[in-house]
Amino acid sequence: MAALPDLPPSDAQPPVTGRRGSARLRLAVPARFVSVYSTQDCLLLDVSRTGARLALGVPLAVGQSGFIALGRFEVFGTIIRLERESGGGVNAMVFDDPLPKADVLEIRRFAEQFETREQASVIEAARRWVTGRL
């Protein structure tokens, strides 16, 4: 009788297939990219444990290193891809060290709070305009 194959432990991670090993959290929050060459505002389009995509007015060259500053986070990495678009471009960045899952969740909370603050700000500006309290 043939032996049955060993089963993986129940807490084992499934094998990674394709290009992405970590789930991507889609965002659209302002951040800053800081390098030895420049500091510029950017839009953090998405983030995972291993990298992020940034929209920049002046896209970065492949191979450039620096960090993303977002709230209390400073995440270091290297630009690995550039997609030029009219008015700027989108860079993909791989992080030097993977982010802990807790940090990715905190970035999500930061983004949700940002959206709430932005909506409240727009409503308050409209209220001031309607009531003549500019």
pLDDT (tens place) for every residue of the chain, 134 residues total: 555 445 445 444 444 444 545 667 677 888 999 998 889 999 999 999 999 999 999 999 999 999 999 888 899 999 999 999 888 999 999 999 999 999 888 888 887 876 666 666 667 777 777 777 76
Which residue is associated with the tokens 């308050």? 124
Minimal CA–CA distance to 45: which of 102, 92, 113?
92
Residue 32 CB coordination number (10 Å): 16
Which residue is associated with the tokens 């982010």? 99
Minimal CA–CA distance to 35: which of 70, 2, 67, 71?
67
